[in-house]
């Protein structure tokens, strides 16, 4: 037991063992007697929607996030070396998400749609 900075008494955990099973198993494919696979994550749209499952089931796309990080880091480093400053700019999105503050709402006349201003994640 210890007291937090705000004075709340809580329990300090040194080791945690999860004793429950997963609510949904990973979509591992099963092959029937005729050689047809069922239940695997093979639909491209489903693979993009369930990226966490795709990365757990298929080993091939695991290198993509690392490769993407390298590809985006190289131009950024080049621009940083030349003295450019990277800033976040506001982005309008069709569904509100993010911070708990009241969102800025606007009407996008060309699309006849209500749009919300994305909250910046960090200011550095």
pLDDT tens by residue, 1-11: 999 888 889 99
Q: What is the pLDDT of residue 31?
A: 72
Q: What is the pLDDT of residues 48-101, one digit of tens each?
A: 888 877 877 777 777 777 888 889 899 999 999 999 998 877 778 877 766 666
Q: What are phi and psi of 60, to 5 degrees?
A: -65, -40
Parse the chain into domains and list their residue ranges: 37-86, 88-124
Confidence of residue 124 (pLDDT cuts 50, 70, 90): very low
Strands (E), the chain: 2-3, 9-10, 30-31, 37-38, 92-93, 105-108, 113-117
The two tokens of residue 112 are 């006849």
pTM for the model stands at 0.35
pLDDT, position 79 = 93
């Amino acid at each position: 037991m210890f007291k937090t900075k705000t004075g709340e008494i809580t329990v300090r955990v040194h080791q945690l063992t999860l004793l429950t099973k997963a609510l949904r198993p990973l979509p591992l494919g099963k092959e029937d007697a005729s050689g047809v696979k069922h239940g695997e994550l093979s639909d491209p749209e489903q693979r993009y929607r369930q990226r966490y499952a795709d990365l757990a089931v298929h080993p091939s796309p695991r290198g993509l996030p690392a490769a993407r990080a390298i590809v985006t880091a190289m131009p950024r480093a080049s621009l940083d070396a030349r003295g450019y400053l990277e800033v976040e700019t506001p982005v309008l999105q069709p569904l509100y998400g993010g911070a708990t503050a009241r969102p800025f709402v606007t009407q996008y006349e060309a699309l006849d749609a209500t749009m919300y201003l994305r909250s910046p994640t960090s200011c550095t």
